[in-house]
Structure 1
Amino acid sequence: MNEFTYPEMMVHVPLCTSKDPKNVLIISDNAELLSEELERHVEVGSKVISCKLEAISALEDKAYDVVISEMQADAAFISHIDRVLEDDGQFVTIHPTLDETEANKILMKTLGRYFKVIMPYNLGNCSTALLSSKEYHPTADINLHRSDMIDGLSYYNCDVHVASFAMGNYIRKEYLGIVKN
């Protein structure tokens, strides 16, 4: 699989769903590829703050429009994410494969306490991420102008953005009432 697919999808899906992203937090042990993709968004004022999981509790309340995490999320972690996100913020996280239904249902139910929208999406590399949003729907509220004006992309575009949320019937049935869209 191409090395550009994962970082493009992890970054551009939430940033093109957010109304006006200015401050983005990346939580990763190695944020270099994600940070490079974030640099393509010239409208983002505070480009990126990368931090380790243990530093989250020290972050300021309502300081970020988008949080992108490559760390496994639990209830305590998600409550900190909720605290640092703006009222219309987006949160993208990795998660167990959709085939691990019990682990995912627990994670999605926890996210459901804080977010209006919780949807898995294809990263284009045979894995998925979860997009959780306090306000905006990733297919209804996509910023088409922003998504098509990003220079130098190899994979992501507005069509891929919308299509990445399409899931097979077995996923829809398994997560019925858990996925919030």
Structure 2
Amino acid sequence: MTAKLPETLTLDRTPTPIGTALVVTDEAGVLRAFNWTDYEPAMLKWIGRRYPKAKLVEGQGPLRAKFDAYFAGQTDAFDDIAWDGAGTAFQRTVWKTLCSIPAGETWTYAQLAERIGRPTAVRAVGLANGSNPVALVVPCHRVIGSNGSLTGYGGGLHRKRWLLEHEGARARAAA
């Protein structure tokens, strides 16, 4: 059974303290993609591959209030947002598990691999984490290196650091 793909996607350019966010939702308000304007070409290419027949329109989307609330300090504002990352079964398992990391906490890639029952799949977990198309709502920024250092984040380490500090997490930057 194949899920019906959206016919229209709304791209909301949402201002935040760390840059303009690109929030893409479908007709039902389901989050389909998220990124920052400095990564817009890659995100548009990804959307074109995943949703080739969808019309992309710009305008204020239904999730703007949730993003405003998060950046105003309500770190649980994303807890009830519906999302669809259009990934493999393994990726979806990783992304769903990421949602169980509470704001203010961090896990290592090894802890994440352990949580999904695949303790030797640390690299695969890292790749799935890095391919998360609905970042921030699916909080891949809460995953850090085994030595406690910040590691890659698609939006840039400066944003990862800001997001973790905003949520009250303690993590030290990679030297």
Shorter-chain TM band: under 0.3
Normalised to the residue count of structure 1, the TM-score between the two structures is 0.27
Higher strand share: 1
